[in-house]
């Protein structure tokens, strides 16, 4: 019975993805309210003004909401919808299905953002329907339901992207300088190995971990040969980076 239930769950995911991709379990970005979400998914495990986290039979779901007055400035993450309207739905399936089982027309998808070659990962987006798939080793690790092209009229001035800041780097100048100093130390001694602990802030759960930003920055500036560098991820109350030099089997804090 459990196997049948799991098959039914992923058949439902596949149908939603292929027929009306931007709607998941009757929750539609730009239309559904927070009350609609809680009626369908129940009381969230954790919530803030801008997001809520729900644990369901399908997996963990993060819903992002519109906050504050409509179009107060020129942020790329603003929409002309009432406060509390669902903007995006991020599903981390309990049992990630393979991409091939979803029977999607991949001609509608383009690769976006940043992938990790070491994990054979990529991010695919159908801008028309508003569906993003995060793929790792052939399996869909994340389904992200977003505003579709039909929602373009609801964009605020300055909002020109279907992915509102989803893959923009959140590293500040101080963090970039810390990384540069650490990489400089490693390159001076070819035999050294390094570890970066990238701790994401809890409220960033609607976005990729800080680790993604760190890898993206290092690869763009120092190349993709990161064999001597281990980058680990985690979550804390505040965003921070920790650096360690591995020497003689010990981890030495840097600087």
pLDDT tens digits for range 136-168: 888 998 898 988 888 888 888 766 554 444 444
Residues in the chain predicted with pLDDT less than 70, given as ranges, are 1-21, 73-77, 112-121, 158-171, 200-209, 212, 224-227, 234-238
User: What's residue 26's pLDDT?
Assistant: 94
User: What's residue 225's pLDDT?
Assistant: 59
**pTM exceeds 0.95 for this model:** no
- CA angle (120 as vertex; 237, 217 as ends), nearest 5: 50
User: What's residue 226's pLDDT?
Assistant: 62
User: What's residue 1's pLDDT?
Assistant: 42
């Amino acid at each position: 019975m459990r196997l049948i239930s799991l098959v039914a769950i992923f058949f439902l995911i596949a149908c939603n993805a292929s027929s009306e991709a931007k709607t998941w379990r009757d929750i539609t970005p730009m239309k559904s309210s927070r009350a609609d979400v809680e009626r369908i998914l129940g009381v969230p495990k954790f919530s803030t003004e801008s997001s809520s986290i729900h644990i369901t039979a399908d997996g963990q779901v993060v819903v992002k909401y519109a906050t504050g007055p409509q179009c107060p400035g020129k942020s790329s993450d603003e929409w002309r919808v009432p406060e509390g309207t669902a903007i995006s739905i991020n599903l981390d399936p309990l049992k990630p299905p393979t991409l091939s089982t979803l029977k999607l027309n991949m001609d509608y998808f383009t690769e976006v953002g940043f992938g990790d070659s070491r994990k054979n990962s990529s991010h695919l987006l159908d801008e028309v329907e508003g569906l993003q798939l995060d793929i790792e080793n052939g399996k869909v690790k994340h389904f992200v339901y977003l505003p579709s092209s039909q929602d373009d009229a609801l964009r605020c001035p300055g909002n020109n992207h279907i992915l509102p800041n989803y893959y923009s780097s959140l590293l500040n100048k101080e963090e970039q300088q810390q990384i540069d100093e650490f990489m400089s130390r490693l390159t001076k001694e070819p035999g050294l190995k390094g570890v970066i602990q990238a701790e994401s802030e809890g409220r960033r759960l609607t976005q990729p971990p800080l680790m993604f930003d760190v890898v993206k920055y290092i690869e763009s500036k120092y190349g993709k040969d990161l064999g001597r560098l281990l980058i680990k991820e985690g979550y804390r109350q505040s965003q921070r980076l920790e650096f360690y030099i591995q020497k003689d089997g010990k981890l030495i804090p840097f600087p």
